Structure 1
Amino acid sequence: MTISAIAFCSIVKAQPAYNYSKVDFGIAGAITKPFTDEQSADYKPSGLVNVTYNQTPFINYVAELQAGELTGKSVYSNVNKRDFNTRFATAALRGQLQAGQFLNYYNSRFLNAIKNLYVSSGVGAIYTRSTVNSIAFQNNQYRTVTGRPSDYALFIPARLGYEFKIYNSDQEPFIKIDLGYQFNYVFGDSLDGNKSGNSNDVFNQFSVGVKFAVPGIAIYKRPI
């Protein structure tokens, strides 16, 4: 029994452990562009906050809040025109899978470089409130009509990104720089305040964010 105990302890000591934080808190900025019934739209800024639960360093679950602005206008003709300005807010939950979860990256410079590449998707809800100006030529004069419709809808986010990890003196990732592109399919048709047309609205985003590890240690079996 003594020999077995010594052997067991030797095996345990031979297995190194690598630490990481279970939870990250993050902030980000993005530029957002809608694709709606209006033919012309611009990129506008939005802000995000998120909390990430790390099941492993490379399997993550993200809860995220966002607020921003969407704008666009129609270019149908010189007679009838329409423009919109939409304030929006979203709440979303995403699962995120990084390449490092299934790559043996520690023996390859190339694989080590791409281990932080990730894909992500989930579900979210969006609230919009739009200021809409419609200009039409009626009764030999131009007439401007302003409306402020609001609406709720679900959306599906699909995200591709890369996470630069910054390590502390113990080789634990404690800051992460997140670069991403996200496509959002909305189950609705009112991002521009206009429920018309034959297809639902979408909006896309390019974002840059930073995440900070919340104190609390978890153990991983491989170098991070």
Structure 2
Amino acid sequence: MSITSTKSVQFKFPLVTLAVLFFFNIINPHMAYSQIDYFYKKNNSGFRLGIGGGITTLKTHYYGKPVKGAFVGSLDYDVNPYFSFGGEAQSGILEGVDNSHRFYYKTSTDNYLAANLNVRVALGQFYHYFSRNKLNDAIKRLYIGTGIGAIHTRIKFTYNDDLAYTVYGSPITSSNSIYFPLNVGTNIDLPGILGRDKLAINPNYQLNYVNSLYTDGFRTSPQSHLRGFYSLVSVRLKYKF
């Protein structure tokens, strides 16, 4: 009798274990998906269209750097999930504010248009490890990139009339300049909407060096050779076709 009971317990134990695992898989249906790296050793090339928005910050003469908005659009070609090249367009506002009361130009507000060509390369291009979940995949697709572009500035000022004596030269309120973007970001795949590698969220930080002495519209002295920077933090939705 004891032998029969022992065999029964041994037989039931794996059944109970399988039932528990099956139930856990039902309540957590994404677990099975997250164990598979669909990009591993595959070349998923294609075009990717992106649209989104972000916030800008101007980095020039001004201490005051208010956050402003921008729209962003892009078209990239993915050679594979970890290497791409393409183009980007921006439309937004850059603003500087003279909080320190040093300049005749109290505020400089730039409604700018910009476009660039860029290339981006991700960690997965060099490290071929197997991604077991979405976090691993986002890290694997963490990229850095650079490029070259052109920016058109349209600047309006407000004035500190009691500081008119600080003016040097004539302001330039409209100009075209070359700029160089540096990008850092990742792509987070959204497989549950249109299928694998179709929709992705792309958070990106971009620091731009503008090759102009008049990024905010003016110079402070003949000795000033300050060229401007601006940053753009954006999130865009990308569709691959």
Partners of 1:48 and 1:66 within 8 A in 2? yes
TM-score (norm 2): 0.71
Equivalent residue, structure 2, for 1:127: 152
Amino acid of the structure 2 residue aligned with 1:122 = G
In 2: Cα distance, 1:138 partner to 1:112 partner = 55
**Larger Cα Rg: Structure 1 or Structure 2?**
2
d(CA) in 1 for partners of 2:90, 2:213: 19
Q: In 2 relative to 1, CA 169–202 (structure 1 residues): closer, same or farther, beyond 3 Å? A: closer
How far apart, CA to CA, are the structure 1 residues paired with 2:91 and 2:104?
Answer: 31
State which of 153, 164, 184 in structure 2 corresponds to 1:160.
184
The residue type paired with residue 113 of structure 2 is: A
3-state SS in 2 of match to 1:192: coil
Distance 1:107 1:52, change over 3 A: closer
Which blocks of at least 5 consecutive residues in structure 1 are unaligned?
Answer: 1-15, 140-146, 215-224
Offset at residue 41 of structure 1 (A): 1.7
Identity %: 24
Greater RCO, 1 or 2 (C-alpha within 8 Å, sep 6+): 1
Which amino acid counterpart does residue 66 of structure 1 have in structure 2? Q
Structure (1/2) with the larger helix percentage? 2
Change beyond 3 A, Cα 1:107–1:90? closer
Q: Letter of the 2:174 partner, please give it.
A: S
SS at match of 2:130: helix
Distance 1:45 1:170, change over 3 A: closer
2:84 is aligned with 1:60? yes
State how far apart, in whole Å, the 2-side matches of 1:26 and 1:175 are: 10
Which secondary structure does the structure 1 equivalent of 2:160 belong to? Answer: strand
Q: Hey, what's the Cα distance between the residues in 2 that align with 1:138 and 1:167?
A: 58
- 1:55-204 matches, within 5 Å, as 55-77=79-101, 80=104, 82-106=106-130, 112-137=137-162, 149-167=173-191, 172-196=196-220, 197-204=224-231
How many residues end up aligned between the 2 structures?
192
In structure 2, list runs of 5 or more residues that go unmatched: 1-39, 165-170
> 1:200 corresponds to which letter in structure 2?
R
